[in-house]
């Protein structure tokens, strides 16, 4: 049986594509910092791993694609406004 992934599709490896992907991760309550290994992300309430092994593999692949096409700093820049919004800080446009 094939289970559908909870990880949003990465539509393209542009800055806007990364921004959209991080936003979709946040909406799915799956957002994590791109410098963290997805295998290390756990639920704060119960300590359970957030991602399955196959999701970890998928996330590592997607983050690698973003880094190869955008560079490390740009990936972090794309994630930044989503994190700020998540924590209740609105950024000026």
Residue ranges of domains in the chain: 15-86
Question: What does residue 39 show for φ and ψ, rounded to 5 degrees?
Answer: -70, -20
From first to last of its 93 residues, the chain has per-residue pLDDT tens of 567 889 999 999 999 999 999 999 999 999 999 999 999 999 888 989 999 999 999 999 999 999 999 999 999 999 999 988 877 766 555
Output the CA–CA distances (angstroms, integers) from residue 80 to 51, 57, 68, 72, 73, in the order listed.
Answer: 22, 23, 18, 13, 10
């Amino acid at each position: 049986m094939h289970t559908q992934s909870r990880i949003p599709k990465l539509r393209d490896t542009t800055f806007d594509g990364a921004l959209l992907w991080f936003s979709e991760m946040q909406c799915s309550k799956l957002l994590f910092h791109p410098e963290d290994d997805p295998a290390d992300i756990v639920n704060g309430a119960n300590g359970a791993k957030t991602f399955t092994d196959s999701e970890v593999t998928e996330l590592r692949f997607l983050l690698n694609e973003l880094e190869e096409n955008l560079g490390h700093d740009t990936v972090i820049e794309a994630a930044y406004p989503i994190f700020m919004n998540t924590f209740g800080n609105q950024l000026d446009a």
